[in-house]
Structure 1
């Protein structure tokens, strides 16, 4: 039986979360990046989350700046995780969680998993990319309507009106419209996240995303 600790609900992560995240980034980078969402939520992205945690190193975060309910977590005991989930979510509320396999197993033992979709994470440790070309440009708030339309057409789940506040975005235009975009969204000690890469369905397989990612790496 798991030992029960007092539960805290807060707009701030627990005092142990950031040192743990920084230790993992410094000494176990691959493991840290596998749970990048939680690492970001307890460090640079903490202002956009609410938290529930105890003193046994179980901590769940709920993002408040996404168009759907999303959570991240760190922990090891299913009973404790289930108890924290009951404080973080409403009865019957569905939530999205991007987690590595070890935490998927923990979630599956803590709550009902309705569906699973595998996502791939690529880790780049090289130098700067080659010259990307003049067709990659920075995107601004003026481009937001076109960005939202492209995100919808490309099936991008996590892009919304507040996304521009969380990072720098770049795009490529063809035929007078935005057809490819992506951004540097989260910056952590020793790592940054490149995400929200999407290409219009009519312009795929033309190397546009490759040119864009090359620019972001550079």
Structure 2
């Protein structure tokens, strides 16, 4: 699949899907901290001092995906193991299960509690405003969620796919992922997602239901010292 926008997904999303909330300075852009700790650069040769200093506070850390600049004094760049970027190009089988509902601001406290427990690193108070979110409630509790995060006109990222430990093994993540992937395809966009190679259970699930590995993609943290 030739999809250059997926090779630099933070920058691509900030310049298209999320341009209305992007904080932009020349060839760098970031999400407001209350949405996500993500920053994108147009290319690796961006002048980091000129482009990023107005965007990243002293002592703050942000994350980059796909493209990272060459660091200069006053900045610390740490490389993590690349993530698996996966795409879905054909409808998936949706397994039977409990009802799926759209999540709104009325569910925000439940979503924040669940993500703080099982998806704590990148979810923020206003992350839900980056796209649509869906969930499954059981026994009066939020058992599992899925949402939309990055994207362009042609691609939508599936994100925050997580299940409360008390409800693991019931197929809720599979059901949610297939539902949202199929809805995305029906809207004329290609679903994609990112998963750590260390998260073998999730990676195997996505492979089993029909996502395929597009590429490994670089992942870094950047701190303004």
TM-score in terms of structure 2 length: 0.68
Q: Which has the larger radius of gyration?
A: 1
Q: Does 1:42 align with 2:9?
A: no
What residue is the counterpart of 2:48 in the other structure? Answer: 81
Greater RCO structure (CA 8 Å; 6+ sep): 2
The CA distance in 2 between the partners of 1:44 and 1:60, in whole Å, is 16
More strand by share: 2
Gaps of 5+ in 1: 1-26, 54-58
The CA distance in 2 between the partners of 1:186 and 1:76, in whole Å, is 20
Q: Give the paired residue count.
A: 181
Q: Does the residue aligned with 1:33 lie in a helix, a strand or coil?
A: helix
What residue is the counterpart of 1:216 in the other structure? Answer: 180
Structure 2 CA distance for partners of 1:115 and 1:190, relative to 1, 3 Å:
closer
Q: Does the residue aligned with 2:11 lie in a helix, a strand or coil?
A: helix
More helix by share: 1
Contact 1:70 1:95 in 2 (8 A): no
Matches within 5 A, 1:64-213: 64=32, 66=34, 69-77=37-45, 80-90=47-57, 92-100=58-66, 103-104=67-68, 106-107=69-70, 111-114=75-78, 116=80, 118-127=82-91, 129-130=93-94, 133-213=97-177
The CA distance in 1 between the partners of 2:37 and 2:155, in whole Å, is 25
Q: CA RMSD in A?
A: 2.7
The CA distance in 2 between the partners of 1:188 and 1:197, in whole Å, is 20
